[in-house]
Structure 1
Amino acid sequence: MAANHFEESPDYVQSLARSLQVLRAFGHDLPSPSLSEIAVSTGLSRAVVRRILLTLQHLGYVGARGRSFFLTPRVLELGYSYLSSLDLNELAQQTMEQLAQKVGESCSLAVLDGNDIVYVLRVPVRRVMSIALGVGARLPAFAASMGRVMLADLPDAELDVWMQGNKFQAYTPKTLRNARALKSELLAVRKQGYAMVSQELELGLCSIAVPIRAANGCVVAGLNVSMQYSDKAQGRAVKEILPALRAAQPEIEQAIRQGGWDPHVYRRQGL
Protein backbone atom coordinates (compact mmCIF):
# COMPACT_ATOMS: atom_id res chain seq x y z
CA MET A 1 0.00 0.00 0.00
CA ALA A 2 1.42 3.40 -0.94
CA ALA A 3 2.34 5.66 1.96
CA ASN A 4 -0.26 8.31 1.15
CA HIS A 5 -2.99 5.66 0.73
CA PHE A 6 -2.04 4.03 4.02
CA GLU A 7 -2.34 7.37 5.80
CA GLU A 8 -5.98 7.44 4.72
CA SER A 9 -6.69 3.94 6.01
CA PRO A 10 -8.20 3.10 9.42
CA ASP A 11 -4.94 1.37 10.37
CA TYR A 12 -3.01 4.63 10.34
CA VAL A 13 -2.56 6.11 13.86
CA GLN A 14 -2.34 9.83 13.24
CA SER A 15 -1.58 10.76 16.84
CA LEU A 16 1.43 8.42 16.88
CA ALA A 17 2.71 9.81 13.59
CA ARG A 18 2.38 13.35 14.88
CA SER A 19 4.14 12.50 18.13
CA LEU A 20 7.09 11.07 16.19
CA GLN A 21 7.12 14.24 14.08
CA VAL A 22 7.48 16.27 17.25
CA LEU A 23 10.31 14.08 18.56
CA ARG A 24 12.13 14.38 15.23
CA ALA A 25 11.90 18.17 15.45
CA PHE A 26 14.61 18.11 18.11
CA GLY A 27 18.11 18.04 16.68
CA HIS A 28 21.39 19.85 16.19
CA ASP A 29 19.67 22.97 14.84
CA LEU A 30 16.88 22.88 17.45
CA PRO A 31 18.25 21.25 20.63
CA SER A 32 15.87 23.22 22.87
CA PRO A 33 13.04 24.53 20.65
CA SER A 34 10.00 26.47 21.76
CA LEU A 35 6.46 25.27 21.09
CA SER A 36 6.21 27.74 18.19
CA GLU A 37 9.48 26.53 16.65
CA ILE A 38 8.28 22.92 16.77
CA ALA A 39 4.95 23.92 15.22
CA VAL A 40 6.79 25.65 12.36
CA SER A 41 9.21 22.75 11.92
CA THR A 42 6.51 20.07 11.84
CA GLY A 43 3.70 22.01 10.18
CA LEU A 44 1.38 21.03 13.03
CA SER A 45 -0.85 23.48 14.85
CA ARG A 46 0.32 24.93 18.16
CA ALA A 47 -2.61 23.26 19.95
CA VAL A 48 -1.63 19.81 18.65
CA VAL A 49 2.06 20.35 19.44
CA ARG A 50 1.19 21.54 22.94
CA ARG A 51 -0.85 18.40 23.71
CA ILE A 52 1.90 16.14 22.36
CA LEU A 53 4.64 17.94 24.31
CA LEU A 54 2.65 17.80 27.54
CA THR A 55 2.05 14.07 27.02
CA LEU A 56 5.73 13.40 26.25
CA GLN A 57 6.68 15.47 29.29
CA HIS A 58 4.29 13.47 31.48
CA LEU A 59 5.87 10.25 30.18
CA GLY A 60 9.37 11.54 30.88
CA TYR A 61 10.67 11.81 27.30
CA VAL A 62 10.63 15.60 27.16
CA GLY A 63 11.50 18.26 29.72
CA ALA A 64 10.71 21.97 29.85
CA ARG A 65 12.77 24.96 30.80
CA GLY A 66 10.88 28.22 30.55
CA ARG A 67 9.37 28.28 27.07
CA SER A 68 11.89 25.81 25.69
CA PHE A 69 11.69 22.02 25.55
CA PHE A 70 14.42 19.39 25.44
CA LEU A 71 14.68 15.64 25.10
CA THR A 72 15.65 13.65 28.19
CA PRO A 73 17.89 10.56 28.28
CA ARG A 74 14.72 8.45 28.57
CA VAL A 75 14.56 8.79 24.78
CA LEU A 76 17.54 6.41 24.81
CA GLU A 77 15.05 3.68 25.70
CA LEU A 78 13.39 4.20 22.32
CA GLY A 79 16.67 3.99 20.49
CA TYR A 80 18.36 1.32 22.60
CA SER A 81 17.84 -1.39 20.00
CA TYR A 82 19.47 0.83 17.42
CA LEU A 83 22.38 1.57 19.74
CA SER A 84 22.70 -2.17 20.35
CA SER A 85 22.82 -2.78 16.62
CA LEU A 86 25.59 -0.18 16.37
CA ASP A 87 27.12 -2.05 19.34
CA LEU A 88 28.81 1.18 20.44
CA ASN A 89 32.06 -0.61 19.55
CA GLU A 90 31.97 1.72 16.57
CA LEU A 91 31.72 4.66 18.92
CA ALA A 92 33.41 4.72 22.34
CA GLN A 93 33.56 1.08 23.40
CA GLN A 94 36.97 0.24 21.97
CA THR A 95 38.68 3.25 23.49
CA MET A 96 37.03 2.60 26.85
CA GLU A 97 38.07 -1.05 26.81
CA GLN A 98 41.66 0.01 26.14
CA LEU A 99 41.42 2.55 28.95
CA ALA A 100 40.06 0.00 31.41
CA GLN A 101 42.77 -2.49 30.45
CA LYS A 102 45.51 0.12 30.76
CA VAL A 103 44.57 1.27 34.27
CA GLY A 104 43.10 -2.03 35.47
CA GLU A 105 39.88 -0.36 36.66
CA SER A 106 36.28 -0.03 35.48
CA CYS A 107 35.34 2.97 33.35
CA SER A 108 31.97 4.49 32.46
CA LEU A 109 30.30 7.07 30.24
CA ALA A 110 27.23 8.96 31.49
CA VAL A 111 24.96 11.87 30.56
CA LEU A 112 23.15 14.35 32.78
CA ASP A 113 19.39 14.01 33.34
CA GLY A 114 18.00 16.53 35.81
CA ASN A 115 19.39 15.71 39.23
CA ASP A 116 20.97 12.44 38.12
CA ILE A 117 23.56 11.00 35.81
CA VAL A 118 22.46 8.16 33.53
CA TYR A 119 24.96 5.51 32.45
CA VAL A 120 25.08 5.02 28.68
CA LEU A 121 28.17 2.80 28.50
CA ARG A 122 30.21 0.89 31.06
CA VAL A 123 33.29 -1.34 30.87
CA PRO A 124 33.58 -3.19 34.20
CA VAL A 125 36.84 -4.74 35.32
CA ARG A 126 35.81 -5.75 38.79
CA ARG A 127 32.90 -4.86 40.98
CA VAL A 128 33.67 -1.86 43.16
CA MET A 129 30.25 -0.58 44.22
CA SER A 130 27.62 -2.59 46.02
CA ILE A 131 25.12 -0.92 43.64
CA ALA A 132 24.72 -2.82 40.36
CA LEU A 133 25.63 -0.43 37.55
CA GLY A 134 24.84 -0.83 33.88
CA VAL A 135 23.36 1.08 30.95
CA GLY A 136 20.43 3.10 32.28
CA ALA A 137 21.62 3.12 35.90
CA ARG A 138 21.19 6.44 37.70
CA LEU A 139 23.22 8.12 40.41
CA PRO A 140 22.91 11.58 42.04
CA ALA A 141 24.90 14.01 39.89
CA PHE A 142 26.18 16.21 42.71
CA ALA A 143 27.98 13.33 44.45
CA ALA A 144 29.37 11.60 41.33
CA SER A 145 32.56 12.54 39.50
CA MET A 146 30.87 12.34 36.09
CA GLY A 147 28.04 14.50 37.37
CA ARG A 148 30.42 17.14 38.63
CA VAL A 149 32.31 17.53 35.36
CA MET A 150 28.98 18.07 33.60
CA LEU A 151 27.57 20.41 36.26
CA ALA A 152 30.80 22.43 36.22
CA ASP A 153 30.16 23.28 32.56
CA LEU A 154 26.82 24.94 33.27
CA PRO A 155 26.74 28.74 33.06
CA ASP A 156 26.74 30.33 36.51
CA ALA A 157 23.06 31.34 36.37
CA GLU A 158 21.90 27.85 35.37
CA LEU A 159 24.12 26.26 37.98
CA ASP A 160 22.61 28.47 40.68
CA VAL A 161 19.09 27.51 39.64
CA TRP A 162 20.06 23.83 39.50
CA MET A 163 21.48 23.96 43.00
CA GLN A 164 18.48 25.82 44.39
CA GLY A 165 16.22 23.08 43.06
CA ASN A 166 18.13 20.26 44.75
CA LYS A 167 18.24 18.66 48.16
CA PHE A 168 21.69 17.28 48.81
CA GLN A 169 21.38 14.01 50.68
CA ALA A 170 24.23 12.63 52.78
CA TYR A 171 24.99 9.18 51.36
CA THR A 172 28.03 8.77 53.61
CA PRO A 173 29.68 10.91 56.29
CA LYS A 174 32.02 12.10 53.50
CA THR A 175 29.28 13.44 51.19
CA LEU A 176 29.79 17.09 50.28
CA ARG A 177 26.27 18.42 50.78
CA ASN A 178 26.74 22.05 51.78
CA ALA A 179 25.58 24.13 48.82
CA ARG A 180 28.28 26.78 49.14
CA ALA A 181 31.08 24.22 49.50
CA LEU A 182 29.67 22.18 46.61
CA LYS A 183 29.57 25.21 44.31
CA SER A 184 33.15 26.04 45.26
CA GLU A 185 34.13 22.47 44.37
CA LEU A 186 32.34 22.70 41.01
CA LEU A 187 34.18 25.94 40.19
CA ALA A 188 37.46 24.17 40.99
CA VAL A 189 36.42 21.30 38.70
CA ARG A 190 35.66 23.79 35.93
CA LYS A 191 39.14 25.29 36.30
CA GLN A 192 41.15 22.07 36.56
CA GLY A 193 39.19 20.09 33.97
CA TYR A 194 38.51 16.99 36.05
CA ALA A 195 36.61 15.85 39.15
CA MET A 196 37.80 13.58 41.93
CA VAL A 197 35.20 12.14 44.33
CA SER A 198 36.23 10.05 47.33
CA GLN A 199 33.76 7.99 49.39
CA GLU A 200 30.86 10.42 48.91
CA LEU A 201 28.46 7.91 47.35
CA GLU A 202 29.74 4.81 49.07
CA LEU A 203 32.49 4.22 51.62
CA GLY A 204 35.48 2.49 50.08
CA LEU A 205 34.83 3.90 46.59
CA CYS A 206 36.45 6.77 44.73
CA SER A 207 36.43 7.91 41.11
CA ILE A 208 37.94 10.47 38.78
CA ALA A 209 36.23 11.89 35.68
CA VAL A 210 36.85 14.16 32.71
CA PRO A 211 34.27 15.92 30.51
CA ILE A 212 33.38 14.80 26.97
CA ARG A 213 32.62 17.71 24.67
CA ALA A 214 30.57 18.03 21.50
CA ALA A 215 31.87 19.84 18.43
CA ASN A 216 30.39 23.10 19.75
CA GLY A 217 32.46 22.84 22.93
CA CYS A 218 29.59 22.00 25.28
CA VAL A 219 30.05 19.13 27.71
CA VAL A 220 27.65 16.36 26.74
CA ALA A 221 28.90 13.46 28.87
CA GLY A 222 31.31 12.45 31.57
CA LEU A 223 33.97 9.72 31.36
CA ASN A 224 35.27 8.23 34.58
CA VAL A 225 37.39 5.53 36.15
CA SER A 226 36.28 4.13 39.51
CA MET A 227 38.45 2.30 42.02
CA GLN A 228 38.76 1.13 45.59
CA TYR A 229 39.57 3.91 48.02
CA SER A 230 42.88 3.91 49.89
CA ASP A 231 45.24 6.52 51.29
CA LYS A 232 47.21 6.36 48.04
CA ALA A 233 44.17 6.34 45.71
CA GLN A 234 44.02 10.07 45.07
CA GLY A 235 47.72 10.28 44.25
CA ARG A 236 47.42 7.36 41.85
CA ALA A 237 44.27 8.81 40.30
CA VAL A 238 45.92 12.14 39.48
CA LYS A 239 49.36 10.84 38.46
CA GLU A 240 48.41 7.62 36.64
CA ILE A 241 44.70 7.47 35.79
CA LEU A 242 44.07 11.13 34.88
CA PRO A 243 46.65 11.11 32.04
CA ALA A 244 45.04 7.92 30.67
CA LEU A 245 41.59 9.54 30.86
CA ARG A 246 42.85 12.63 29.07
CA ALA A 247 44.40 10.49 26.35
CA ALA A 248 41.06 8.71 25.82
CA GLN A 249 39.06 11.94 25.98
CA PRO A 250 39.71 13.25 22.41
CA GLU A 251 39.38 9.76 20.92
CA ILE A 252 35.91 9.33 22.40
CA GLU A 253 34.87 12.85 21.41
CA GLN A 254 35.89 12.12 17.84
CA ALA A 255 34.31 8.66 17.86
CA ILE A 256 30.87 9.75 19.06
CA ARG A 257 30.77 12.54 16.48
CA GLN A 258 31.83 10.34 13.58
CA GLY A 259 29.67 7.43 14.74
CA GLY A 260 26.46 9.41 14.67
CA TRP A 261 25.77 9.34 18.41
CA ASP A 262 25.04 13.00 19.09
CA PRO A 263 24.23 13.38 22.80
CA HIS A 264 24.39 17.19 22.75
CA VAL A 265 20.63 17.31 23.25
CA TYR A 266 21.19 15.94 26.76
CA ARG A 267 23.60 18.76 27.53
CA ARG A 268 21.02 20.87 29.34
CA GLN A 269 18.95 19.26 32.04
CA GLY A 270 15.59 20.39 33.37
CA LEU A 271 15.79 23.36 35.66
Structure 2
Amino acid sequence: MTKFSRIVDVLDLFSETDTLLTAEEIAEKLQVSRPTAFRYAKELNAAGFLANYSGRYSLGARIITLDYRIRQSDPVLKIAETVLRQISDETGCDSIFCRMYNDEIINVHHEASNNPVGVSFGRGRPLPLFKGSAGKVMLSLLPAGKLQKLYDKNSHLPEVQEIATEWPDFKRYFAAIRKAGFYISDNEIDAGVIGIAVPVYASGIGIIGAISLVMSADRLHMINPEGIIAVLKQRAADIGTRLAELDN
Protein backbone atom coordinates (compact mmCIF):
# COMPACT_ATOMS: atom_id res chain seq x y z
CA MET A 1 0.00 0.00 0.00
CA THR A 2 1.38 3.42 -0.98
CA LYS A 3 1.90 6.33 1.37
CA PHE A 4 -0.88 8.20 -0.42
CA SER A 5 -3.32 5.35 0.22
CA ARG A 6 -2.42 5.30 3.91
CA ILE A 7 -2.92 9.06 4.19
CA VAL A 8 -6.34 8.76 2.54
CA ASP A 9 -7.16 6.01 5.06
CA VAL A 10 -6.91 8.66 7.77
CA LEU A 11 -9.92 10.49 6.33
CA ASP A 12 -11.98 7.29 6.45
CA LEU A 13 -11.48 7.10 10.22
CA PHE A 14 -13.85 10.01 10.82
CA SER A 15 -17.54 9.33 11.28
CA GLU A 16 -20.62 10.61 13.07
CA THR A 17 -19.27 9.09 16.30
CA ASP A 18 -15.56 9.79 15.73
CA THR A 19 -15.57 13.50 14.92
CA LEU A 20 -12.32 14.41 16.70
CA LEU A 21 -9.21 12.20 16.76
CA THR A 22 -5.74 12.69 18.21
CA ALA A 23 -2.65 11.55 16.34
CA GLU A 24 -2.28 8.79 18.93
CA GLU A 25 -5.78 7.52 18.14
CA ILE A 26 -5.04 7.67 14.41
CA ALA A 27 -1.89 5.63 15.00
CA GLU A 28 -3.82 3.01 16.96
CA LYS A 29 -6.63 2.72 14.43
CA LEU A 30 -4.30 2.47 11.43
CA GLN A 31 -1.73 0.34 13.24
CA VAL A 32 1.12 2.70 12.39
CA SER A 33 3.75 4.36 14.57
CA ARG A 34 2.95 7.58 16.40
CA PRO A 35 5.52 9.61 14.39
CA THR A 36 3.95 8.32 11.17
CA ALA A 37 0.43 9.25 12.36
CA PHE A 38 1.64 12.73 13.37
CA ARG A 39 3.19 13.17 9.91
CA TYR A 40 0.00 12.09 8.14
CA ALA A 41 -2.11 14.43 10.28
CA LYS A 42 0.31 17.32 9.71
CA GLU A 43 0.27 16.87 5.93
CA LEU A 44 -3.51 16.59 5.78
CA ASN A 45 -3.89 19.65 8.01
CA ALA A 46 -1.54 21.67 5.79
CA ALA A 47 -3.60 20.69 2.73
CA GLY A 48 -6.86 21.67 4.43
CA PHE A 49 -8.27 18.15 4.62
CA LEU A 50 -7.99 18.15 8.42
CA ALA A 51 -8.46 20.94 10.96
CA ASN A 52 -6.34 20.97 14.13
CA TYR A 53 -8.03 21.83 17.41
CA SER A 54 -5.24 21.83 19.99
CA GLY A 55 -3.94 18.44 18.95
CA ARG A 56 -7.29 16.93 18.08
CA TYR A 57 -8.20 16.68 14.42
CA SER A 58 -11.47 16.88 12.52
CA LEU A 59 -12.28 16.87 8.82
CA GLY A 60 -11.25 20.15 7.21
CA ALA A 61 -12.94 22.82 5.12
CA ARG A 62 -11.29 21.75 1.88
CA ILE A 63 -13.56 18.71 1.78
CA ILE A 64 -16.57 21.05 1.73
CA THR A 65 -14.94 22.96 -1.12
CA LEU A 66 -14.45 19.76 -3.09
CA ASP A 67 -18.06 18.76 -2.50
CA TYR A 68 -19.15 22.10 -3.98
CA ARG A 69 -16.88 21.56 -6.98
CA ILE A 70 -18.32 18.10 -7.54
CA ARG A 71 -21.84 19.51 -7.54
CA GLN A 72 -20.83 22.12 -10.09
CA SER A 73 -18.59 20.09 -12.39
CA ASP A 74 -19.35 16.35 -12.23
CA PRO A 75 -21.03 15.60 -15.61
CA VAL A 76 -22.79 12.52 -14.26
CA LEU A 77 -24.25 14.42 -11.34
CA LYS A 78 -25.29 17.43 -13.41
CA ILE A 79 -27.14 15.25 -15.92
CA ALA A 80 -28.68 13.11 -13.17
CA GLU A 81 -29.90 16.17 -11.24
CA THR A 82 -31.88 17.41 -14.25
CA VAL A 83 -33.39 14.01 -14.96
CA LEU A 84 -34.26 13.33 -11.32
CA ARG A 85 -36.00 16.69 -11.09
CA GLN A 86 -38.16 15.68 -14.05
CA ILE A 87 -38.94 12.33 -12.45
CA SER A 88 -39.98 13.90 -9.15
CA ASP A 89 -42.16 16.47 -10.94
CA GLU A 90 -43.84 13.76 -13.03
CA THR A 91 -44.43 11.24 -10.25
CA GLY A 92 -44.78 13.36 -7.13
CA CYS A 93 -42.21 11.08 -5.43
CA ASP A 94 -38.68 11.66 -4.18
CA SER A 95 -35.92 10.40 -6.47
CA ILE A 96 -32.39 9.37 -5.53
CA PHE A 97 -29.31 8.76 -7.65
CA CYS A 98 -26.82 6.28 -6.20
CA ARG A 99 -23.37 5.16 -7.27
CA MET A 100 -21.15 2.32 -6.12
CA TYR A 101 -17.69 3.02 -4.76
CA ASN A 102 -15.67 -0.08 -3.90
CA ASP A 103 -18.04 -1.99 -1.62
CA GLU A 104 -20.32 0.92 -0.76
CA ILE A 105 -23.53 2.23 -2.30
CA ILE A 106 -23.54 6.02 -1.97
CA ASN A 107 -26.47 8.42 -2.26
CA VAL A 108 -25.01 11.18 -4.45
CA HIS A 109 -28.20 13.16 -5.08
CA HIS A 110 -31.66 13.33 -3.52
CA GLU A 111 -34.38 15.24 -5.34
CA ALA A 112 -37.29 16.01 -3.03
CA SER A 113 -40.87 16.12 -4.33
CA ASN A 114 -44.03 17.81 -3.11
CA ASN A 115 -44.64 14.65 -1.09
CA PRO A 116 -41.26 14.28 0.66
CA VAL A 117 -40.40 11.01 2.36
CA GLY A 118 -38.15 10.85 5.37
CA VAL A 119 -35.13 8.72 4.45
CA SER A 120 -32.25 8.08 6.81
CA PHE A 121 -29.53 7.96 4.16
CA GLY A 122 -29.06 11.40 2.63
CA ARG A 123 -26.44 12.60 0.17
CA GLY A 124 -22.98 11.28 0.94
CA ARG A 125 -24.11 8.53 3.30
CA PRO A 126 -23.47 4.90 2.39
CA LEU A 127 -26.60 2.79 2.12
CA PRO A 128 -26.78 -0.78 3.43
CA LEU A 129 -25.11 -2.99 0.84
CA PHE A 130 -27.68 -5.79 0.94
CA LYS A 131 -30.84 -3.80 1.57
CA GLY A 132 -32.85 -1.36 -0.51
CA SER A 133 -33.75 -1.03 -4.14
CA ALA A 134 -30.67 0.85 -5.40
CA GLY A 135 -28.19 -1.44 -3.67
CA LYS A 136 -29.78 -4.64 -4.90
CA VAL A 137 -30.09 -3.39 -8.48
CA MET A 138 -26.41 -2.46 -8.54
CA LEU A 139 -25.27 -5.69 -6.90
CA SER A 140 -27.23 -7.64 -9.51
CA LEU A 141 -24.99 -6.18 -12.22
CA LEU A 142 -21.69 -7.18 -10.66
CA PRO A 143 -19.62 -9.93 -12.29
CA ALA A 144 -20.26 -13.28 -10.61
CA GLY A 145 -16.75 -13.41 -9.19
CA LYS A 146 -17.04 -10.07 -7.42
CA LEU A 147 -20.54 -10.84 -6.18
CA GLN A 148 -19.31 -14.12 -4.71
CA LYS A 149 -16.46 -12.33 -2.92
CA LEU A 150 -18.99 -10.00 -1.33
CA TYR A 151 -21.11 -12.98 -0.34
CA ASP A 152 -18.18 -14.86 1.17
CA LYS A 153 -17.11 -11.78 3.11
CA ASN A 154 -20.59 -10.96 4.43
CA SER A 155 -22.46 -14.28 4.51
CA HIS A 156 -22.68 -14.11 8.31
CA LEU A 157 -24.74 -10.90 8.28
CA PRO A 158 -28.47 -11.22 9.06
CA GLU A 159 -29.46 -9.24 5.93
CA VAL A 160 -27.45 -11.64 3.77
CA GLN A 161 -28.95 -14.66 5.54
CA GLU A 162 -32.41 -13.25 4.76
CA ILE A 163 -31.55 -13.31 1.05
CA ALA A 164 -29.94 -16.76 0.97
CA THR A 165 -27.95 -19.09 3.18
CA GLU A 166 -25.94 -20.60 0.32
CA TRP A 167 -24.01 -19.00 -2.54
CA PRO A 168 -25.97 -20.67 -5.40
CA ASP A 169 -29.26 -19.33 -4.02
CA PHE A 170 -27.69 -15.91 -3.45
CA LYS A 171 -26.48 -15.86 -7.05
CA ARG A 172 -29.93 -16.86 -8.38
CA TYR A 173 -31.59 -14.15 -6.29
CA PHE A 174 -29.54 -11.39 -7.93
CA ALA A 175 -29.70 -13.00 -11.37
CA ALA A 176 -33.49 -12.66 -11.18
CA ILE A 177 -33.18 -8.95 -10.34
CA ARG A 178 -30.75 -8.45 -13.20
CA LYS A 179 -33.12 -10.16 -15.63
CA ALA A 180 -36.07 -8.04 -14.47
CA GLY A 181 -34.07 -4.82 -14.78
CA PHE A 182 -35.58 -3.32 -11.62
CA TYR A 183 -36.18 -4.00 -7.94
CA ILE A 184 -38.91 -2.87 -5.55
CA SER A 185 -37.95 -2.73 -1.87
CA ASP A 186 -40.59 -2.71 0.85
CA ASN A 187 -39.59 -1.37 4.28
CA GLU A 188 -36.05 -2.66 3.80
CA ILE A 189 -34.18 0.44 4.97
CA ASP A 190 -36.71 2.87 6.43
CA ALA A 191 -40.03 1.85 7.94
CA GLY A 192 -43.00 2.72 5.75
CA VAL A 193 -40.83 3.55 2.72
CA ILE A 194 -40.98 1.86 -0.69
CA GLY A 195 -38.12 2.09 -3.20
CA ILE A 196 -38.24 1.31 -6.93
CA ALA A 197 -34.85 1.28 -8.65
CA VAL A 198 -33.44 0.73 -12.12
CA PRO A 199 -29.79 0.73 -13.25
CA VAL A 200 -28.15 3.44 -15.35
CA TYR A 201 -25.79 2.40 -18.18
CA ALA A 202 -23.75 4.40 -20.65
CA SER A 203 -22.45 2.94 -23.91
CA GLY A 204 -18.70 2.46 -23.74
CA ILE A 205 -18.70 3.18 -20.01
CA GLY A 206 -20.85 0.48 -18.45
CA ILE A 207 -22.86 0.70 -15.25
CA ILE A 208 -22.98 4.26 -13.91
CA GLY A 209 -25.36 4.03 -10.99
CA ALA A 210 -29.02 3.56 -10.14
CA ILE A 211 -32.13 5.72 -10.03
CA SER A 212 -34.40 4.98 -7.11
CA LEU A 213 -37.89 6.41 -6.64
CA VAL A 214 -38.89 6.49 -2.97
CA MET A 215 -42.37 6.94 -1.54
CA SER A 216 -44.51 6.09 1.44
CA ALA A 217 -46.06 2.63 1.50
CA ASP A 218 -49.52 4.22 1.33
CA ARG A 219 -48.65 6.03 -1.88
CA LEU A 220 -47.72 2.80 -3.66
CA HIS A 221 -51.42 1.94 -3.90
CA MET A 222 -52.04 5.21 -5.73
CA ILE A 223 -49.63 4.61 -8.60
CA ASN A 224 -49.14 2.14 -11.43
CA PRO A 225 -45.86 0.33 -10.62
CA GLU A 226 -45.45 -0.97 -14.18
CA GLY A 227 -45.85 2.55 -15.55
CA ILE A 228 -43.39 3.96 -12.99
CA ILE A 229 -40.81 1.30 -13.88
CA ALA A 230 -41.19 2.12 -17.58
CA VAL A 231 -40.65 5.84 -16.84
CA LEU A 232 -37.58 5.10 -14.71
CA LYS A 233 -36.05 2.87 -17.37
CA GLN A 234 -36.57 5.56 -20.01
CA ARG A 235 -35.04 8.25 -17.80
CA ALA A 236 -32.10 5.97 -17.00
CA ALA A 237 -31.59 5.46 -20.73
CA ASP A 238 -31.70 9.25 -21.20
CA ILE A 239 -28.87 9.68 -18.67
CA GLY A 240 -26.81 6.97 -20.35
CA THR A 241 -27.32 8.47 -23.82
CA ARG A 242 -26.36 11.97 -22.68
CA LEU A 243 -23.23 10.69 -20.95
CA ALA A 244 -22.19 8.70 -24.02
CA GLU A 245 -22.61 11.84 -26.13
CA LEU A 246 -20.04 13.68 -24.00
CA ASP A 247 -17.28 11.64 -25.66
CA ASN A 248 -18.44 12.52 -29.18
TM-score, normalized by the shorter chain, greater than 0.5: yes
Who is 1:13 aligned against? none
**Alignment partners' CA distance in 2, 1:142 and 1:234:** 28
**Alignment partners' CA distance in 2, 1:94 and 1:124:** 13
Tell me the SS of whatever aligns to 2:197: strand
**Alignment partners' CA distance in 2, 1:113 and 1:253:** 18
**Change in 2 beyond 3 A, CA 1:232/1:224:** closer
**Alignment partners' CA distance in 1, 2:73 and 2:3:** 33
Q: Percent identity?
A: 20
Unpaired segments of 5 or more residues in structure 1?
Answer: 1-34, 36-49, 62-75, 261-271
Higher relative contact order (CA 8 A, sep 6+): 1
Unpaired segments of 5 or more residues in structure 2?
Answer: 14-62
8 Å CA contact retained: 2:83, 2:239: yes
**Change in 2 beyond 3 A, CA 1:217/1:195:** farther
1:195 to partner: Cα distance: 1.2
TM-score for both structures, normalised by structure 2: 0.66
**Amino acid corresponding to residue 210 of structure 1 in structure 2:** V
1:239-258 equivalent positions in 2, closer than 5 A: 239-258=226-245
Of 125, 128, 131 in structure 1, the residue corresponding to residue 117 of structure 2 is: 128
1:234 to partner: Cα distance: 10
| Number of aligned positions between the proteins | 193
1:168 to partner: Cα distance: 3.2
Tell me the SS of whatever aligns to 2:130: helix
TM-score for both structures, normalised by structure 1: 0.61
> Could you give the per-residue CA deviations for residues 96-144 of structure 1, whole angstroms, max 9, x where no partner exists?
111111111111101123443111111111332352x432022102111
**Change in 2 beyond 3 A, CA 1:140/1:53:** same
8 Å CA contact retained: 1:111, 1:117: yes
**Alignment partners' CA distance in 1, 2:119 and 2:96:** 16
> 2:157 matched to 1:162?
no
**Amino acid corresponding to residue 127 of structure 1 in structure 2:** P
**Alignment partners' CA distance in 2, 1:257 and 1:82:** 22
**Change in 2 beyond 3 A, CA 1:147/1:213:** same
**Amino acid corresponding to residue 128 of structure 1 in structure 2:** V
**Alignment partners' CA distance in 2, 1:176 and 1:119:** 24
